[in-house]
Structure 1
Amino acid sequence: MIIFKFANQILLLELGKGGVVVVVGWYLPELYPKFRKQEESINSSWEVDSDPQAGKGFPINFSVHYSMALTEAKNVVAPLMNIVKFKGMSILQQLHLEERLFRTSSDNWCIINDGTNAPTIVMGVSGKPSELLDIKLVLQDKVPVVRRFTGGGTVVVDPGTIFVTFICNKDAVPSVELYPRPIMSWSGLIYEDVFRGIADFHLRENDYVFGDRKFGGNAQSISRRRWIHHTSFLWDYEVRNMAYLKVPRRAPDYRSARSHVEFVCHMKDYMSTSDFIDRTVKAVGTRFSLTPMQLEEGNIHGKTAFDHSSRLLTKAELEAAFASQTNLYGESTGLSQVQVDLKHVQSN
């Protein structure tokens, strides 16, 4: 095994027949900080006769001094991650899949879903419809409302939403502490790579923004050895759908009391869906060794019993929340006006 430093990364090489060097894997310093001091003892120079390609042999002249033991070198190869892509999977089905993989699988996963099949409101596990939704309009338009198993805020998703999810073991990214902010910061580094040269990307509080306009919302769940971080990206959206959402009481400071339409932006103004997905896969591939997976319908639902906590809210639940909005039309009208409006919605 040869340890070779190049472009701020460590390339793991093996010398094969005929002096051909074979790429074994990459050591990523940001993932394995315990080896940073040992990097200082690695001095190297090289000449490449042809472009290196991962997994293929190429002739090379080199002189390398290294101090890492072979056993340590094996431990720093990029961790494995399964990657699955979908087109138009329903958001509820996607959440059921994610929770199953999070709770029952021991693998790392990246799930990309290009659009969901129908407009749906998705709330965090502790979200309250009476505080977050214009329930009268939601009931009137018969928009489904899903309560997901992770935290985070409320979003309207539709065929113009792109979803990206990471499910990781603690050991796969040992430099990331099992708390929301470190995981969020880690994800921000990935998307800095994705949007480099495209737009003024930032991680602002818990959101992904271009400038000061949000285009990506995040939610997480964290267990003792594992975590999930998923994002809904607003590649496109229907302005009318924003009317289903109230301005939350706890809004980020940078929102500055702006309406939903003033606060968010379209990703499609900056890049195509295919370009975004390709760049995301490439960025993730610099940190993990990716294995493309195909999940059939039977595998998505699983063969063993599993109680999903993500679910659709019933009409009765939404009506009860609507009845509790005593201030919907102001203090003076009180509950009686809400009850009148509820009867109007039910009659429709």
Structure 2
Amino acid sequence: MSQARKVGLPLMNLVRFNGVPILKQLHLEEKLLRTSSDNWCIINNGTNSPTVVMGLSGKPSELLDLESVLQDQVPVIKRFTGGGTVIVDPGTIFVTLICNRDAVPGVQPYPRSIMYWSGMLYGEVFKGIDGFHLRENDYVFGNSKFGGNAQSITRERWIHHTSFLWDFKAGNMAYLKLPSRAPEYRLARSHMDFICRMKDYMPRSVFIDKTVNAIGNHFSVKPLDLDVNAVAADVADAKFVHTTRLLMKEELEEALSVSTRELCHQS
């Protein structure tokens, strides 16, 4: 009898990466969500270069300083999950959980139920650190956000992925506009007044180790020593089409042009 059956815990495949490009990671996650029947935890310790990642329904003209984004040639990705807009870089730690709907007792396949459980999970990780809690849909220390979440729920499975701001460059935040829809606790604060660096609270390697340990309290964890291409090939489906994509320069230029015309009409 397997260890997972002995202890009554579902099996969770654990894959750890270092610096995998976020587009490649998101392509992998989408494929695993839709074509695999296993539970997965993916931890990516940083991505290769600064990249803007928008939610499925995000509009570049409303969320980005398009002139700066185009001038500095910052890649912009529209991912397959909902949620807000983030800029990620080598200082970002990504943790993704992909689960079958019956994998976690008491967790229903609804956003609030999944968020509540994830808050408890990371409560184990940050135990002993004052001020940690789930606030609206963010992980915060006090009133400062350090982790943003996004989800997608299918008929049989769900994904919950988080971008943890272990560190960031203040200048990169200027690519993001203040969103029209924001958490109430933000109180219209600027990005720099709203977010904080996780490195001021916990070392990078300690966070990753504690996260793996916390997941091990809920799953029988099976580490897989595979690279991102190998895992993607393992669940390859010739008919699978990604919805996560890199926005073309022409799309961003058109969004800027439309935004500029709208401003001219308003003035």
- Calculate the TM-score normalised by the size of structure 2: 0.94
Matched residue, 1:274 = 205
In the TM superposition, residue 331 of structure 1 has moved relative to its aligned partner by 3.6
**Aligned letter for 2:164?**
F
**Aligned letter for 1:268?**
K
Distance across 2 between alignment mates of 1:258 and 1:220? 25
Structure 1 residues 179 and 88, CA, compared in 2 at 3 Å: closer, same or farther? same
In the TM superposition, residue 325 of structure 1 has moved relative to its aligned partner by 1.2
Q: Which residue of the other structure, out of 6, 15, 21, is the alignment partner of 1:84? A: 15
**Residues 108 and 167 of structure 1 are in contact (CA less than 8 Å); yes or no, is this contact kept in structure 2?**
yes
In the TM superposition, residue 304 of structure 1 has moved relative to its aligned partner by 3.2
Moved over 4 A (4+): 327-330
Query: Secondary structure of the equivalent of 1:83?
Result: strand
Q: Note if 1:312 corresponds to 2:246.
A: yes
Distance across 2 between alignment mates of 1:196 and 1:277? 14
Matched residue, 2:148 = 217
Query: For 1:20-63, what per-residue CA distance to the aligned partner results, in whole angstroms no more than 9, with x for missing partners?
Result: xxxx67xxxxxxxxxxxxxxxxxxxxxxxxxxxxxxxxxxxxxx
Q: Note if 1:180 corresponds to 2:114.
A: no
Query: Secondary structure of the equivalent of 1:171?
Result: coil
Unaligned 5+ runs, structure 2: none
Distance across 1 between alignment mates of 2:62 and 2:37? 37
Structure 1 residues 288 and 297, CA, compared in 2 at 3 Å: closer, same or farther? closer
Query: For 1:138-182, what per-residue CA distance to the aligned partner results, in whole angstroms no more than 9, with x for missing partners?
Result: 001000000000000000000000000000001211411111010
Query: For 1:84-136, what per-residue CA distance to the aligned partner results, in whole angstroms no more than 9, with x for missing partners?
Result: 10000000000011011111110000000000000000000110001000101
**Residues 81 and 109 of structure 1 are in contact (CA less than 8 Å); yes or no, is this contact kept in structure 2?**
yes
In the TM superposition, residue 301 of structure 1 has moved relative to its aligned partner by 3.4
Task: Please show how residues 1-348 of structure 1 align to structure 2 within 5 Å.
Answer: 77-302=8-233, 303-305=236-238, 306-326=240-260, 331-332=266-267
Query: For 1:228-269, what per-residue CA distance to the aligned partner results, in whole angstroms no more than 9, with x for missing partners?
Result: 000000000010010000111111100001000000000010
Distance across 2 between alignment mates of 1:187 and 1:279? 14
In the TM superposition, residue 329 of structure 1 has moved relative to its aligned partner by 7.9
**Residues 45 and 93 of structure 2 are in contact (CA less than 8 Å); yes or no, is this contact kept in structure 1?**
yes
Q: Which stretch of the first structure deviates more once superposed, 301-310 or 193-202?
A: 301-310
**Residues 96 and 162 of structure 2 are in contact (CA less than 8 Å); yes or no, is this contact kept in structure 1?**
yes
Query: Secondary structure of the equivalent of 1:324?
Result: helix
Structure 1 residues 193 and 128, CA, compared in 2 at 3 Å: closer, same or farther? same
- Calculate the TM-score normalised by the size of structure 1: 0.73
Distance across 2 between alignment mates of 1:121 and 1:188? 25
Say which structure, 1 or 2, has more relative contact order (CA 8 Å, 6+ apart): 2
In the TM superposition, residue 76 of structure 1 has moved relative to its aligned partner by 7.0
Q: Percent identity?
A: 66
**Residues 116 and 161 of structure 1 are in contact (CA less than 8 Å); yes or no, is this contact kept in structure 2?**
yes
Distance across 2 between alignment mates of 1:178 and 1:111? 20
Distance across 2 between alignment mates of 1:279 and 1:183? 20
In the TM superposition, residue 192 of structure 1 has moved relative to its aligned partner by 0.4
Structure 1 residues 280 and 328, CA, compared in 2 at 3 Å: closer, same or farther? farther
Distance across 1 between alignment mates of 2:163 and 2:38? 22
Query: Secondary structure of the equivalent of 1:325?
Result: helix
Alpha carbon RMSD of aligned pairs, Å?
Answer: 1.9
In the TM superposition, residue 215 of structure 1 has moved relative to its aligned partner by 0.2
**Aligned letter for 1:313?**
L
